[in-house]
Chain A
C-alpha cells in the first residue's frame, strides 16, 4: 500500500506531473514530507497540496472494518483453524485454543528449562495432517543455537503420538516437512528471513520457529542503549512481525534470560526511599530478566515464561491480550512437555514479570556472562 505509485492515482494532471518531476513517486515519498515541505518542493499553493495529500491518504488508507465484521471473519476462519493447538489442554484453554496465527508468540526462560523441547513438539504438531489436528504443512525451524535434535524430535513424536508415528513411513514424512536453517550471523539471518517471506505462501509453510533470537547478538545490549543506538535487531523485529501478519501463520520465537544485578528500573517520578533500595539489593542479587530488552517485548503479542521455582517448573502466560496471567506446573518427559495440572494458578502483581530460577542459579552465573 505504502508503495503505491502517485501517477496512477488520478490526481489532477498538473500536480501529478509536478510530483513526478520532483521525483516524489510513491505515497511513502509524499507522506514522509510535511505539507509545507511539499509546497516548497512542488511550488504549488497550500490548498492544492492539502487536497493532493488528502487524496493520496484516502487511497493509501487501509480499509475500515467494524469490530463486528472482524468477529464474523474470525468465526469464519475458525472453521479453517486460526490457532495451533499445543496439546497442553490448560494452556490451550487459556489462549482460546492455542498459539494464534498472524502474531508473534515468545517463549522466555533460562537455559535448560525446556524451550527447545516445546519448540520441537510444536513443530511436529504443525506438520501433522489436518485429520490429526495438525496444520498439514511445512515448518521452518531457524536453529540459531545449534540445539535442534531430530532424534529427540522423533522420540517425542513416537512417545506422544504413537498411533501416527508407528505407521510405516510416517516418521520420515513428518520429519521431512521440517526444514532446519542454521544461520551463523545476523546478516545470514537477514537473508534467510527474506527468503522465507518469499517461500511461505508458495510452499505451504505453516509455522516459523526461531530458536533463539537472543543467540544472535553477542554485543551488550545495555551498552547500545547508552550510546543511543537503535536496537541491533530493530529491522528483524519489524520484519518478523509483518511476516506473521502478511502470511497469517503462527511465529514462535524463543528468548534467553540474563541476570541483572541492579535493582528494578523505575520511572523518574517513582520516588524510592534509600531503605527500600538496600533491602531490594539484599533480596535480589541477580534478578533474571528477558534478554533483547523492552523494545522487543513490546513487539510480541503473547509471552510465555518458562521458569523453575522450588524444583518445580512452570509455564506462565505473562502477556496476552485475552488471557489473564496463569501459571501451569509442568514436567519434561520422554514425550516432551506435559502439564501436571490443567488448572492454572492465577499470578498477580509483580509475580507476573519476575522470572524465577531457583535451583538453577549456578547455571545462570556462568551462562549469564557469555551473553550478557
Chain B
C-alpha cells in the first residue's frame, strides 16, 4: 500500500513522500523519534558519512527534513499501524485478499437476513418477504400514491414482536417534508395491533395482558422522529445516525421521507448536489450493513423528456439511481395501486397490487391475485 493512500492530511503526505517514505513497509519499522527527526532508519546504517558524504546530500537531500513534532509523528504512525492491520485480517477467506468474504459466507449470512413485512402479502411476495434489512431500498411515486403511508406502515411493522413473527425493533423516521401526521400513525398502529391479535387469538388465551402491552402508544414511543428543515440538517441527521443508532441498538429501520425535497429546491450547483447525495447514500449503506437495519428512502418523481415524449421517472438524476440497492416504483395501474421492482440485484422485475386502507397498507381485496411478470 502506498503512503499516498493513507488517510493523512495532504501536507503530511507530502512531507512523508519528500522524505522518501512512499510505501507502508518503509514506515513499519520506524519509531516516532526517528520519524520526527526525519532520518530513515534503514538507510542510516548503510551510509557512511565520511565515504558518501557528498553523495548523500546529492541523492537524499529531502530525507533529513520531515520537520514534524514528536506527537505528530506518533499520530502518523498510528494511522499507518491501523492501515496495515486492516490489510492483515485473519477472517476465513480473507487471507487471500484483504477484507474479502466468500460467497458461501455471504449466502449463510443472507439466510439469516430479516425482512420487514409491508402488511400486503402480494407486495411482500415480490420483495422476497418484505423490506430487507442490511439493504438500502428506494421507494418512489407520484404525489398521493402512498409513499408516506408505506413509510409509516414500515415504521410500525418493524415493531411487531418476535413472538408474532416480527423483528421487535424500533424505527427512526426522518421527515423532510412535514407530512408525518401522528394521528395517522396512531390509526396504522391500531390496525396493526388489531390484525396481530386476530391472527393469534387461539394462541394466546390471556388476551387482556397482551392488549396492555400492545397499546398503540407503545408503538408510537418506539418511533424516533427527526424533522429536518434544510438540506444541511438532513445531512447532519444522517451523519449523526451512526452515533444515535449505536446508542439505540434495537433500531431496525430508518425511513427518510423524502430524500428529495430539500435537494430539489435550493441547488444551482448540480455537481455539488450529486457529490452530497452520493456521500449520503454511502453513509446510509454503511449504516445498513454495520447495524443490520433496513434503510428506506422515499423519492419523488419528475418528468423527463426522452424520445420525443414525456416520461415519469424518479427524481435526483441518473447518478443517484445508482445509489440504492433496490428501487421500487409505486404507480397507478388502471384503478389499482401497484408496486414495481425497478431495480434489484436479487429480485426479478415484477409488479404487485396493494391498497391503502384506513388501517394502513393492505392487500387488494379483489378475488384473484395477479402477480404479473414483466
A interface, CB within 8 angstroms of B: 1-2, 27-28, 31-32, 34-35, 39-40, 42-48, 53-54, 56-68, 70-71, 74, 96, 102-103, 222, 225-226, 234-235, 237-238, 241-242, 244-245, 262, 265-271, 293-295, 297-301, 303, 318-319, 321-322, 324, 348-353
Contact = CB atoms under 8 A, between A and B. Distances in A.
Interface string B313-353: 10000000000000001011111100010100000010000
Interface in B64-98: 75, 79
B163 interface: no
Interface residues of B, number: 84
24 contacts: A1-B229, A32-B276, A34-B275, A34-B276, A39-B10, A45-B9, A57-B235, A57-B239, A58-B236, A61-B237, A64-B226, A67-B182, A68-B217, A70-B225, A71-B183, A225-B303, A238-B265, A241-B178, A245-B178, A267-B313, A267-B329, A294-B143, A294-B300, A300-B143
A312 to B, nearest CB: 21
Interface in B255-313: 258, 260-262, 264-266, 272, 275-276, 279, 300-303, 305-306, 309-313
A47 B6 CA distance: 11
B7 A45 contact: yes
A2 B221 contact: no
Nearest to A64: B224
Contacts of B349: 269
Nearest to A351: B335
A234 B264 contact: yes
A58 B240 contact: yes
Contacts of A43: 9-11
Interface in B117-158: 142-144, 148-149
B262 to A, nearest CB: 8
A45 B236 contact: no
Nearest to A63: B226
Given A62-B233, A321-B148, A301 B224 contact: no
A301 B178 contact: yes
Contacts, number: 218
A57 to B, nearest CB: 3
B8 to A, nearest CB: 5
Nearest to A263: B309
B244 A64 contact: yes
B114 interface: no
Contacts of A265: 303, 310-312
B276 to A, nearest CB: 7
Contacts of A59: 236
B66 to A, nearest CB: 15
A28 B222 CA distance: 30
B8 A46 contact: yes
A244 B222 CA distance: 28
B67 to A, nearest CB: 15
B107 interface: no
B162 interface: no
B173 interface: yes
Given A61-B240, A298-B143, A67 B235 contact: no
Q: In this complex, which of A65, A68, A234 has the most chain B Cβ atoms within 10 angstroms of its Cβ?
A: A68
A17 B336 CA distance: 59
B196 interface: no
B216 to A, nearest CB: 9
A64 B358 contact: no
B353 to A, nearest CB: 11
A353 B144 CA distance: 9
B349 to A, nearest CB: 7
B3 to A, nearest CB: 13
Nearest to B155: A67
Contacts of A34: 275-276, 279
Contacts of B264: 234, 295
Contact of B79 (A45, A238, A353): A45
B15 to A, nearest CB: 11
A158 B185 CA distance: 41
Nearest to A227: B305
B312 A297 contact: no
A2 B233 contact: yes
Contacts of A70: 180, 182, 220, 225
Contacts of B199: none
A220 B133 CA distance: 44
B37 interface: no
B362 interface: no
A39 B7 CA distance: 9
Most buried by B among A62, A300, A353: A62
A242 B232 contact: no
A105 B186 CA distance: 22
Contact of B374 (A62, A245, A269): A269
Nearest to B266: A238
Nearest to A104: B178
A102 B178 contact: yes
A17 to B, nearest CB: 14
Given A2-B232, A265-B310, A321-B184, A349 B332 contact: yes
Contacts of B177: 241, 298-299, 301
B50 interface: no
A65 B185 CA distance: 14
Nearest to A270: B331
Contacts of B342: 269
A351 B335 CA distance: 8
Nearest to B301: A294
A47 B7 contact: yes
B229 A242 contact: yes
A267 B331 contact: yes
B13 to A, nearest CB: 9
